[in-house]
A and B are shown apart, each in its own frame.
Chain A
Amino acid sequence: MSFDIEHMATLARLKLTPDEKVRLSGQMGKILEYIEKLSELNTDDVEPTAHVLGLHNVFREDEPIAKPLADHNPISESPAHNKGHYEVPQII
């Protein structure tokens, strides 16, 4: 099957090197060929499993909770920040 590595890299926001593109395309081809195995199974009447314990919505009371990071300024973790704001390259 054809594997469009350029398109996948764009969707995944990865700037792959030319070498990586060649190598990953080849490996993906082999992996997907192996995964094709699943088509041997008829799963028309099988429900998909997204969560093994069958949990659905888990709610809590709609009440404010104590600030978990009260003593920490998360913006200080940013690799580029200025005056309490995140800094990014120009967008428009």
Chain B
Amino acid sequence: MHRTTITQARELLRNKKISSVQLTEAVFTRIDQVEDKVQAFVHLTREKALQQAKDADARIAAGEEAPLLGIPIALKDLICTKGSRTTCSSKILDQFVSPYNATVTERLNQAGAVLVGKTNMDEFAMGSSNENSHHHPTMNPWDLDRVPGGSSGGSSAAVSAHECIAALGSDTGGSIRQPASFCGVTGLKPTYGRVPRFGLVAFASSLDQIGPLTKTVADAAIMMNVIGGKDPRDSTSADVALPDFTQALQKDVKGMKLGIPKEYFTGGINPAVEKAVQEGIRTLESLGMQTVEVSLPHLDYAVAAYYIIACAEASTNLSRYDGVKYGYRTEKSDSLVNMYENTREEGFGEEVKRRIILGTFVLSTGYYDAYYLKGQKVRTLIKQDFENALEQCDVIASPVTPYPAFKLGEKLDDPLQMYLADIYTISANLAGIPAMSIPCGFAEDLPVGLQLMGRHFDEASLITVGHKFQQTTDFHSQETPL
């Protein structure tokens, strides 16, 4: 029962074949079986979940319909859930209890979701492997010696190991799509501004976006219907009409144009990954899509521009952790400044400190123009590349990552190499466009993702193409050895 998709579970619940309590208990039984190995969660809210499941069953019995009524969902541990901990996988927020719900949490509650727990992540969403968690690493359900990706690696691992039916993550430079690719699930980063971020712990405010990690594209469409749309409490959320994304599942791809960016297939990419992605593109051609070559000439500069902008924003966002208002405070202090310095030294992990230092540097006197302003200008060039390319096609297809899931510990010593691995995903954040990873094959028995990118606020085209792909292929329904 825990293996069902949202789409299947809704049908079973509606037809009274199963109850939400049964489904929720099945999910927790599964968690009891595999969580020791996967360690996807930071904490579970078992009792509350069972209460929510009982409530959902009562609502179903009363004939009520809601998009996620009775469906067990997991949340990345940087999304606020009133009355329970939101740690961001950091020591500095380890005992922090959210005083309010994030907009997306409210919307999931209204939609009738059962919240099973909070998933592990790289501290403050900084990382690509989940190894930067203060709590513990998370393992890839496909191979327990390998990382699940990051920073939403707990969410992707939980979905692929069936420890929840679907999950939410966040994506600042690929943090939904890269772990989705590594764990063989579907991950959608919506357009910047599509999903309100009220109650999301901030990393880089001009890039962060919340999105779903699901077993299928059809499930992602259901989740987007629930979480999308403006909330005045996030002034950066866009006042753009929210379509019914499930309508996009009915559309055909015949005649749609698929852009292939030539720069994404040169050098550095694992041959087995490239082969799977190329075969995925051929599948889309066989479904009637017309491929056109497009150019994104500034790809090579994206990583540098991204790390300037993301770290600059992080260094300012994280200045709020001062040991005064909430969170961890050091035991060692004899002055106010000394208290700040020790609190932050003890409370933050190494990757977070590295990014705070880099961000402080690029914003500091004498370096602002050369680094931060330069980064913002290059961001304009990257955004224009995508606008030009998306005039010639409806959707762009590319790899998600240069290689499949790597071993734990393999890349920890070289932060620059870890950053460079984000090359295919970060451009979509810099341009603010929607992008999705769907399973398209295997490399060395590990899942490989195909990335689809579209125009601002056109998640619907990604859903149409991704769903059609999943109706023709079965990579998304392959099971992990667990």
Give chain A's interface residues, CB within 8 Å of chain B: 3, 5, 7-9, 11-17, 20, 24, 27-28, 30-32, 34-35, 37-41, 43, 46-53, 55, 58, 60, 68-69, 72, 74, 77-80, 86, 88-91
Contacts and interface: CB of A to CB of B under 8 A. Distances in A.
Contact of B304 (A35, A53, A88): A35
Nearest to B363: A11
Interface of B: 96-97, 99-100, 192-193, 206, 232, 235-236, 238, 298, 300-301, 303-305, 307-308, 315, 319, 322-329, 333-342, 344-345, 348, 350, 353-354, 356-358, 360-361, 364, 371, 373-381, 383, 415-416, 419, 430-432, 456
Contacts of B99: 69, 72, 74, 77
Contact of B353 (A20, A30, A41): A20
Contacts, number: 162
Contact of B339 (A11, A14, A78, A88): A88
A5 B357 contact: yes
Instruction: Give chain A's interface secondary structure class.
Output: loop
A18 to B, nearest CB: 12
Contacts of B333: 89
Query: Lowest 5 CB-CB distances: which A-B pairs, in order?
Result: A52-B432, A48-B376, A15-B341, A79-B329, A77-B326
A35 B371 contact: yes
Instruction: Give chain B's interface secondary structure class.
Output: helix
Given A34-B416, A53-B456, A89-B336, A48 B373 contact: yes
Nearest to A31: B416
Nearest to A55: B236
A39 B374 CA distance: 8
13 contacts: A12-B356, A14-B353, A17-B345, A31-B415, A38-B301, A46-B378, A46-B380, A48-B373, A49-B380, A53-B456, A77-B96, A79-B329, A88-B339
A43 B192 contact: no
A34 B378 contact: no
Which of A7, A16, A47, A48 has the most CB atoms of chain B within a 10 A radius of its CB?
A: A48
Given A13-B337, A38-B305, A80-B329, A24 B371 contact: no
A8 B360 CA distance: 6
Nearest to B365: A11
A60 B232 CA distance: 8
